[in-house]
Chain A
Amino acid sequence: MTDVIVIGAGPAGLSAAAVAAEKGLNVLVIDEYMKPGGRLLGQLYEEPDGSWWNGIEESAKLFNRAAEAGVTIKLQTPVNNIETTADGIWSVYTEEETFVTRHLLIATGAAEAPVPVPGWTLPGVMSVGAAQVMTNVHRVKPGNRGVIIGINVLSAAIAMELKLAGVEVASLSLPGKNSMTEESADPRKVLNSLLHVSHMAPSPLVRFGSRFLQNDIMKKLGVSFFPKNGVKMWDIPVQLRKAVIEIYGENEVEGVVMANVTSDGEVIKGTEERITADFVCIAGGLYPLAELAAVAGCPFYLIDELGGYVPLHNEQMETTLKGLYVAGNITGIEGAKVAAAQGTTAGLTIARNSGIHGLVKEIQLAIQSIKQTRDNASIQFHPEVKKGREIIQEKWEEHARALEGTGSEVTSEAEAGG
């Protein structure tokens, strides 16, 4: 039996694995992808201080630290189920083998929501994250000229990365409005969500913002006076008053049909135009990938500020189930640095719960470090993420009080100290 199993080799999983191994535990990390690093691998952007954050290098650092600490990493191994027995042993089922442990960390990150626009099932349409992985990880151009549908922090960052790779992005525009695209098709709501991030975003977004978002007059006038042809961000037209209403092509993407929209996102008839493209990215945003926590039986809360349903957990990264922990984007959508800090905390908590003494202070510092990392983050995926964190903490406290009332333990070792 392995002391600790971590599912997910992203920033949270690798950090947790390294810390737990450095404390003397034997640790196995399982990931379905072919390379360690998770979605961190695709990241490439300029920090506010002018230095570059290169996800491939950051992933290598995390991987090397874990490997040096003696962590075993098993790649290309999807987990299809997890189960616990009464004696507190977790079984982790993969296609070829079943692994067992007493301490299981789920660090599966996030998934991308699709954007339903007619034609979205044509070959050549991909999620914006897929275009990022093709370009930055595999170094393959997704095409020569693309259109990105969905304007948010993630798609703006990836548009810039595509541009750096020499791929033309013809437009960053809204999806046509229907009952599934909802707020992502509403120019006012999209503009507001961008306003919230522009003041703390890294330099390219600040430059984007300085063109119009941070201008007080433009803020007041809002989308009504947003230029019909968009504003340019790194020479890419950002179009809040145009929406893609169809992706066309015989056997693959040949282009999109774009139309002007009112400030509520309603299509103005007669304004349709065809724009040629050989690939299309759909960007519906990220949500916590919580399927394993769901089959394990964790209670969930729908918290929009965290990006969707998140499993109930405390600041030490314990869930309500004995021996089950969560860290990273499964607990809410944030950047890689926050995920790594959560991983460190989870690794320390697991070490303490495994009987290693003298970690109480270190765990407290690790929890503090998550908050500091969040405060210093240059991008927030949701402007109210701190509120989301408070909600889940309140829910945890409610849960703990309810258990106290029945005389049960809060979690196995949460109060054990060390």
Chain B
Amino acid sequence: MTDFEMIICRCEEVTYGELIKTAEEFNCTARELKLRTRAGMGYCGGRTCRPMVDKAARGPEISKDTEITLKYQPPLRPISFGRLGGKEK
């Protein structure tokens, strides 16, 4: 297996090759790279691949030192719809 075939985001099955190619082609920020490839947008919410997606991004980050590049959103841990809606006990 080569670096290019290696999976980086397991939830969405995004490879290293796809991330690097997309980052180069579009000169992406981390957020744009995520939106274009869906890396970090799966079941786990990017809890594993986040640092790698950040590193693959090539584009200029706006105020990179004061803002987290990839947004965190609740729920921060997987939760069932029933529990989230308060219907399930």
Contact = CB atoms under 8 A, between A and B. Distances in A.
A393 B79 CA distance: 37
Interface string A149-192: 00000000000000000000000000010111010000000000
A302 B5 CA distance: 31
Contact of B16 (A96, A180, A294, A300): A180
Interface stretch (A226-234, A284-292, A363-371): A284-292
A418 interface: no
A94 to B, nearest CB: 9
Interface residues of B, number: 31
A301 B68 CA distance: 8
- The secondary-structure label for the interface of chain B is loop
B5 A118 contact: yes
B87 to A, nearest CB: 13
A116 interface: yes
A48 to B, nearest CB: 32
B76 A178 contact: no
B3 A176 contact: yes
Interface in A330-356: none
A300 B77 contact: no
B1 A182 contact: no
- The secondary-structure label for the interface of chain A is loop
Contacts of B85: none
A360 interface: no
A246 B1 contact: yes
Contact of B1 (A93, A119, A292): A119
A255 to B, nearest CB: 14
Chain B CB within 10 Å, residue with most, of A32, A81, A290: A81
Interface in B1-58: 1-3, 5-8, 10, 16, 20, 47-49, 51-52, 55-56
A116 B76 contact: no
Interface string B57-89: 000000011111001111111010001000000
A116 B66 CA distance: 27
Contacts of A290: 68
Contact of A95 (B1, B3, B51, B83): B83
10 contacts: A80-B74, A80-B79, A81-B76, A95-B79, A95-B83, A116-B8, A118-B5, A119-B6, A178-B16, A179-B55
Given A113-B51, A114-B48, A121-B6, 18 more contacts: A80-B75, A80-B77, A81-B74, A95-B79, A111-B47, A116-B3, A118-B6, A180-B55, A182-B55, A284-B51, A287-B51, A291-B72, A292-B76, A294-B71, A295-B76, A299-B66, A300-B67, A302-B64
